[in-house]
A and B are shown apart, each in its own frame.
Chain A
Amino acid sequence: MKLLSKNKYFLMIIFTLINLTIFGQTPSVYYPEKTDWIDKDDSRYITGVKEKFKNQIEVFAWGEVFKSLAYDFLSSKVGWDDNLHIKQKFQNELDSLVNDYTVAVEWAGIEDKENVDKILQKFRSGRFQGDVSLGIIIYFSGTDNEIELIPEVVDEEQAIDLRYRAETINKLLNEFKKPVREMNLKAIAKAESRWKNYINNGFSQYPWESFINGYITSFDIQNPPGHQWVIFHHELGVELSTKKIKQMKAKEVLTIEMLGWIDYYGDYWENFWGFSGIVTLRDDVGIGIGGIIHFGPTFNLGLTWHDINDDDNFFNDNPFLMLSIDILSYMNLTIPKYDKQLNNLKSARSIVMLSK
């Protein structure tokens, strides 16, 4: 018997080589990228299988589906007598799939759509993904049940049988995992939005700030830093003197936020608030010192004091109201229009109380 099966195997190789010589081509089923071997009406093809197990899939009885498919291979109509050890390898993997799934469901407690995540904690579902990295199809590569789908190992009909079944099961497993895959994608999209908001819409950072914040704040791939240090941050702003409201003058100043703190909030890091200690530079009244608060990217409001009378005391003169260029452009503030704008602001109740 052994001699007969050996001879049959030898003859199979000779037949394949003759086939190749006469027809000059390896049958398309062996090519990973070819699909012309597929008959979509074949009962082993994904469409037929999904139709056959439509009810079970609908009620999430995947265990039943996998068991049936494993049992079905036992009675495969393809001649496997000359290649029983290959058939056994494939059967071993089908049985392992069924067994692993059963154990995972027992552990998880319930077999339903909401429990897929829990089932997957114990069920490794990548078993039937074919390895095509060498330009041939290898199932269960690197394991004791490894099968190379090449003419020297399986004949054309056997290759078709394995390929239908492996690809169908792999696709069914991908469908089984879909609820969790969607959750993964949602989390990835959320992480991307968060990082986009943090970088693009957050409080801007100069190179040294982003470098330092990268090492002293905590974050991970799904969560940007919840806080941000403001360090020697340059900005343009406008100072309004508050001595006499009707004589308010606005002057553009260079503001340096010496040290500050920003806190992000919202599930997507869409908002922030913060505060900084500032120094302002202007040529007419010298350096100013004070503080600023930030509410989002547009609203920045602060107070600064200048030593106007040159008595080395910053705080015995009226403070200046500090606004960012953003809020200024929002208010469209110019000196001739000041009174009108002030009335608008008062009625809108959007200005901070001014000190004397």
Chain B
Amino acid sequence: MNKHILFLIHGMGVHKKNWADTVINKLKELSKDYTYFNENKLTDLVKFVPIDYDHVIRDVLNKWQEDSRGIRDFAKENGLDDKNLLSWLKRAGDTERNFLWSSVADVIIYRFFRVYSNRIRIDVIKELSDEINSEINEFGDARCSVLAHSLGTAVVHDCLHHLGAENWGDTQNVFGPTHWRFQSIFMIANTSRLLQTEPKAYDSIVRPGPNLDSNSYCFRYLNFRHELDPVPYPRMFDPIGWSSAYQSIIVQHYRDLGIHGLEHYLDNPRVHIIILRAVTSRWAITEQEAIKAVDNYRQFGEKFEAVEKIRDFLNELAMLKNELGQDLMPVDFIKGFIKFYQVINKHLKGIS
């Protein structure tokens, strides 16, 4: 029997062929907290298929850099002022220490350079359809879900719409929603509305619905957003009137300064439990395990661990203040003062 296929689509920035290793390892590591996955390896149940579209953008940027290099060299050799002569393309293809070209340019190219966004889309569509077809040929059917992050959510939205709605080869589209659909779509830090072109994010078929519904393309759509992640905030994806198969989950945890990062989102049980259950089974994580994981997951941890400790310290000071009250005998005041220093000493090491 075939495994559940989970397509992984990355966001902006440089992504090499093995970009998904850290994401897959993160999910594997998280799954080990649940008993079922100690007897059933996650990778025995789920086939992770990373989709890489970054190479299209890198090729474009490298070409711009190369095309301009000869011109700039010529200008130099011939005493021409090369400051404005394509000098701004000098580092277009560099991936090290080059946030503007290695990350920001991805978003600008995808959103505003329509010829390149179509090139990216057809590349991704081919990878998706080839994988689905290969699965059907081997096992008779394909159960597929998609996990996308940041810029990848906009890419995936556009690609899934085209994959399902286009008349490929002027024939009926058997990848279309009345013949086949995706199981779940997980959108993390969703920018599909922020970066939308045509079709608009709320008007496409990329929404949940039942079998045979030609206006929907998945059974379930889950939207994850961090409360302070600035990326999905402008033109937030927040549809009204969609079915109950659409869910929006806002997370509020802090483990790292990079709160936009995919692994940071996955770390939260309210994110990874949903994903793991959806690609395996409801019983893979019991209700008790889920409740315990969510209850025990503290809001602040790792790099933000001190925040929890400071909060505990402040709570204890507040309690002490309430105990002291207004009218104190001198002896009680001294006792309270000693207790105050004990509280400080108790928390001092932990916080620093």
Instruction: Show the binding face of A for B, using Cβ within 8 Å.
Output: 26, 30-35, 38, 46, 117, 120-121, 124-127, 129-136, 140-143, 167, 170-171, 174-175, 177, 180-181, 183-192, 195-196, 198-200, 204-207, 210-211, 213-215, 219-222, 224-225, 234-236, 252, 254, 281-283, 325
Contact = CB atoms under 8 A, between A and B. Distances in A.
Nearest to B213: A142
- For chain B, which range describes its interface: under 10, 10 to 19, 20 to 34, or 35 or more residues? 35 or more
A135 B282 contact: yes
Given A184-B174, A211-B112, A221-B118, A133 B183 contact: yes
Interface stretch (B7-15, B23-31, B135-143, B316-324): B135-143
Given A132-B4, A204-B67, A141 B211 contact: yes
Interface in B105-160: 112-116, 118-119, 121-123, 125-126, 129-130, 133, 136, 140-141, 143, 145
B330 interface: no
Contacts of A167: 140-141
A124 B178 contact: yes
Contact of B115 (A183, A196, A219): A219
9 contacts: A32-B281, A46-B140, A120-B174, A131-B220, A133-B183, A183-B169, A195-B123, A199-B56, A221-B125
A131 B180 CA distance: 11
A134 B143 CA distance: 13
B166 interface: yes
Contact of A236 (B59, B71, B126): B71
A232 to B, nearest CB: 11
B333 to A, nearest CB: 60
Given A133-B145, A181-B174, A192-B122, 5 more contacts: A34-B281, A125-B178, A126-B177, A134-B220, A195-B118
B53 interface: no
- Point out which of A125, A224, A234, A282 has the most chain B C-beta atoms below 10 A from its C-beta: A234
Contacts of A142: 209-211, 213, 243, 245
Interface of B: 1, 3-4, 45, 56, 59-60, 63-64, 67-68, 70-71, 74-75, 78-80, 85-86, 89, 112-116, 118-119, 121-123, 125-126, 129-130, 133, 136, 140-141, 143, 145, 162, 166, 168-175, 177-181, 183-184, 209-213, 218-220, 243, 245, 277-278, 280-284
B186 to A, nearest CB: 10
Secondary structure type dominating chain A contacts: mixed
A127 B212 CA distance: 6
B178 A133 contact: no
A135 B280 CA distance: 6
A303 B125 CA distance: 44
Contacts of B140: 46, 167, 170-171, 174-175
Contacts, number: 217
A140 B229 CA distance: 37
Contacts of A131: 183, 210-211, 219-220
B180 A126 contact: yes
- Point out which of B70, B130, B171 has the most chain A C-beta atoms below 10 A from its C-beta: B171
B115 A254 contact: no
Given A142-B210, A184-B169, A234-B86, A224 B115 contact: yes
- Point out which of B112, B168, B280, B282 has the most chain A C-beta atoms below 10 A from its C-beta: B168
Given A135-B278, A219-B118, A283 B79 contact: yes
B85 to A, nearest CB: 8
A129 B1 contact: no
Given A184-B171, A191-B122, A171 B281 contact: no
Contacts of A215: 114
A221 B121 contact: yes
A187 B122 CA distance: 11
